[in-house]
Amino acid sequence: MRKFFTFLAWLITLTAIALYWVPSSGYWWISVSQVLAGFLFVVPLGIGVFALFKLRIAKAIAALLLALLLAGTYLFFPLAGPVSSRYWWAENTMETLLEKQTGGRLELTVISANVEFGGGDPVAIAKQAREVSADAIVIVEATKSFANKLVPMLPEYKYRTSDPEDEDALETWILSRLPMESQQYLADAFNAATTFQVPIVKLQTGKGPVRIAGTHIMPPMPGRAAIWNQEMSLLRKWVDSENLPTIAAGDFNAATCHPEFRDLSAGSIDAVTAGDWWKPQATWPTKLPFTRIDHVLTWNLIPVDGGTFAIPNSDHLGVWGRVQLAATQ
């Protein structure tokens, strides 16, 4: 019986490691399992500790290395490190961009908040916007009543995508202190369909335009995992459509444990990690956050600071990121 449970423990560990590279293929339970798989590091950890107690050194070392691999792959790197498994080979790393600098830089700060069906506290968002001097604000699950509360608190954000029209919380809303151009929705841009509204705009800065997508992706629920993947693929199509500084900020309902998200985020840096990169910047759920599904993904930009912040009455933590633009775009 002991051999059976030992075999089962090794099988669970190796399966969890392999799962990191398995696409969901439309099966929601794969996506959910990938979020939880990292916590199975306790299985090889337990084997390793028990083997040490029995003085089975080789077995202990193997088990502890697997525990480290499992925890690192799923928990450490996604939360505290680069947003993409291809980060170190991405074309636009901070070092590469810094080499391109030929003059002064302009900073741009974006915050994103999922306000959970319009119930989040607008005071907390207005306070965070002023504390970090946000240039643009992305509100996910915005409602008309929420917008009516927030707008008077932030009169300096004169430029906005279409204000929410009802209480269905399907709308994503962008507010900006900088002029906006080319306002449209992701679905309209590619003659496709998205579950939630995803506004895409170009902010006019002193260094040229910066594209922003107010992002909300369908969660990989039963019967909807294929839609989840399709919407991320559509967003990636938008990213690749123009070679401009680009930001996708919002609730992606996906983390770096998902191959589909790693495809979407390839070549990007998540500005949320640009502050205290070693801190676990998990964003969901609020009471005991264990995964980061809210991101500020940046392409062709230099992230210099970022982090999370609390939003009372929401099940998500808010995120923010500060980036620098090259001297010439």
Buried b (16+ CB within 10 A) or exposed e, 56-89: eeebbebbbebbebbbebbbebbbbbbbbbebee
Backbone angles phi, psi at 216, to 5 degrees: -145, 110
Q: Which domains does the chain have, with CATH numbers?
A: 2-80 (no CATH), 97-325 (3.60.10.10)
**Residues 6 or more apart in contact with residue 223 via CB below 8 angstroms:** 28
One digit per residue, the tens of pLDDT, for the chain of length 329 reads: 667 777 887 888 888 888 999 999 889 999 999 999 988 888 888 888 888 888 888 888 888 888 888 887 777 665 444 443 334 334 444 555 544 444 567 899 999 999 999 999 999 999 999 999 999 999 999 999 999 999 999 999 999 999 999 999 999 999 999 999 889 999 999 999 899 999 999 999 988 999 999 999 999 999 899 999 999 999 999 999 999 999 999 999 999 999 999 999 999 999 998 877 666 689 999 999 999 999 999 999 999 999 999 999 999 999 999 999 865 54
Q: Is the whole model's pTM more than 0.85, yes or no?
A: yes
CA nearest to 24, candidates 229, 249, 305: 229
Q: To which H or E segment does residue 42 belong? A: helix 42-53
Q: Are strands 294-299 and 269-270 parallel, antiparallel or unpaired?
A: antiparallel
